[in-house]
Amino acid sequence: MARYQLKLAYDGTEFFGFQRQGATRTVQGVFEDTLRLLGWQEDTILFAGRTDTGVHAAGQVVVFDLDWSHSSEKLKLALNAKLPEDMAVSDVKLANADFHPRYDALSRIYRYSIYHQPERNPLNDRFAWRIWPEMNGEILREAAFHLLGTHDFSAFGRAMKPGSSTIRTVLKSDWQPTETGWEYQIEANAFLYHMVRRSVYLQVQVARQKMSMQSLIAGITERAAMKPGLAPAKGLNLWQVMYPEGEQVKLKMQQVNDDVA
């Protein structure tokens, strides 16, 4: 029996979130069903974080124990041959027996995509939020800057367990122009429930002059109540999970990391 770690990518459109929910089609359920075709007999996989219904991932990290007499490369090929078209694995490798993809994570990186177009574009709609008219990029970037640092983000989401800390540290928050609109990247040591989608929504409201920058800052620094709303799930992508370099380094997160952004 060996412990394997891999990167899992999926188009979240047809999944009702990540976590297994009975007969409902979820990422975890489909992946575990596929593993069982290869002789897996454990109860559950380990994963870096839950994603909500409709949220995508390029860099979800999954860990499981498996009796496998072939190479990691052959395991990758076997899984990809059996997984559905909206899911694929890469970077399959052996992991330490005590490695946990959630608790050993240093940070997570999410990306959110927005496109500007007067008419709906079905080719973009699956993975991005359409906004028209175009937004002011300088205002977006200023709004993103205020999210940096350690704050009580209770105005942006909630902890998964009642009474848990809502203090998080945002390491990166920035908007970059694309050919069709904007892409937001945010990295934090952990996220609250819906924190990324809430952050995007509020920044967009500021950029569209439907909310003041002062209100956003007050929400960050004073936990002030703000306009309700979330950005659509379809624009969100769990891009990458960061781990310490070297197996000798072990950082166990003290905060709850089973987040749904």
Closest-CA residue to 14 (of 29, 4, 35, 3): 29
Place of tokens 């394997």: 4
For residue 230, give the 3-state DSSP assignment. Answer: coil
User: Phi first, then psi: what are they for 69, rounded to 5°?
Assistant: -95, 5
User: For the chain, how are helix, strand and coil distributed in percent, rounded to 5?
Assistant: 25, 30, 45
Give the whole-angstrom CA distance, residue 248 versus residue 250.
6
Burial class (CB in 10 A: 0-12, 13-18, 19+), 10: buried
Spot the catalytic one: 11, 33, 43, 52. 52
Helix H or strand E segment including 138? helix 137-145
Q: Is 33 a catalytic residue?
A: no
Would you name the residues annotated as active-site residues?
Answer: 52
